Amino acid sequence: MAGIDVQPTPYCTVMTTVSTMEQAAELARGVVEAALGACVQIDTVRSIYRWSGAVQDESECRLTIKTHRARYDALANYLATRHPYQLPEIICIDLGGGSGTYLHWIDEQVGMTL
C-alpha cells in the first residue's frame, strides 16, 4: 500500500480508561503538554468486567495515546501516578507500521527528533 511503512517501528499506542470525560480530558491534556504522547483520542465505551467478585457494567472513557516506544515508561508512570482508579488499565500496543509523515510527526511531538 502506498505511503505505508510495513517494517517494524518504534511506535506504539497506549490505552487507559477512566470514569468521566473530565478525567479523560485532564489526563489527555497533561500527556500532550508533557510531550509523552503526540495525540490522545477519547472514546466513550461500555466496559463489562469482574471487580471484587462481581460483574460490573460501566460506561467509561477510553484514551488512545500515540507515542514513541522510548516514551512508554515515562508515560506509564505519568498515568499511574495521576490515574483515579485503584488498578488502572495501562496497555501498550506496538505499531507494525504507518504513514511515514505521521510517524515523523509523532517523533516531533514527543521530542524524539535529532
In this predicted model, what pLDDT tens digit does every residue of 50-88 receive, in sequence order? 999 999 999 999 999 999 999 999 999 999 999 999 999
Its pTM surpasses 0.85: yes
| Phi, psi of 70, deg, nearest 5 | -65, -20
| Phi, psi of 76, deg, nearest 5 | -60, -40
- SS3 for 83? coil
- Residue 97: the pLDDT is 86
Least confident of 5-9, 46-50, 78-82, 103-107: 5-9
Q: Strand ranges (DSSP E) for 2-112? A: 4-5, 11-18, 39-51, 54-68, 91-94, 98-99
Confidence band, pLDDT 50/70/90 cuts, at residue 4: low
First-residue to last-residue Cα distance in the chain: 28
Q: How many CB atoms lie within 10 A of CB 6?
A: 9
In single-letter form, the type of residue at position 111 comes to: G
CATH number of 9-108: 3.30.70.120
Which grid cell sits at 87?
488498578
Length of the chain in terms of residues written: 114
| Domain locations in the chain as residue ranges | 9-108
